[in-house]
Amino acid sequence: MRPCGRLINFDKYLKAGRIIQELQRFQVPYALQPVEALQAYLLDHLGTAVTSPQQLYSMSLAIEPRIPSGNENKLRSMAARARLLDTVHGGAPDAARLDAHGCVMTGIEMTTKTPELTGSLRDFFWTWYAMRMCLAGFGSG
């Protein structure tokens, strides 16, 4: 039991640990070597034409506009289910702490805050980040 009098749900932590292990299993470091000729070419041709990452992103959108993935509604329903389970299993989470750690984030926010990531890579990254921040927040309570 924690000092605040609330019980610790070990099953919840066990499930979170399994999910994190599954995510870590797919983290593979890449041994990429710099290619000097390619770097020089890119700096020569892109260095003078573009001055900021935002310009690159705007050019990318002009060439290939974003297509909604439909994940926004799925993420919202998953968040609603998680809130329901938290309510059923011992009260709602501390919303201020969760929000401070970035855990309360809708699919729309995820897609607008990460213009450099697309598709499943973006979804994977935000799932991993949200879980890591949530667990860091739960450990400090």
Domain ranges of the chain: 38-67, 69-141
How open is the CA angle 49-53-55, to the nearest 5 degrees? 55
Name the pTM for this structure.
0.24
Residue range 8-44, pLDDT digits in tens: 788 898 999 999 998 888 887 788 898 999 888 877 7
Which among 92, 103, 108, 94 has a CA at the least distance from the CA of 127? Answer: 103
CA-CA distance, 88 to 104, in Å (whole number)? Answer: 19
Exposure of 111 by Cβ count < 10 A (0-12 exposed, 13-18 middle, 19+ buried)?
buried
Residue range 55-76, pLDDT digits in tens: 878 888 888 887 766 666 666 6
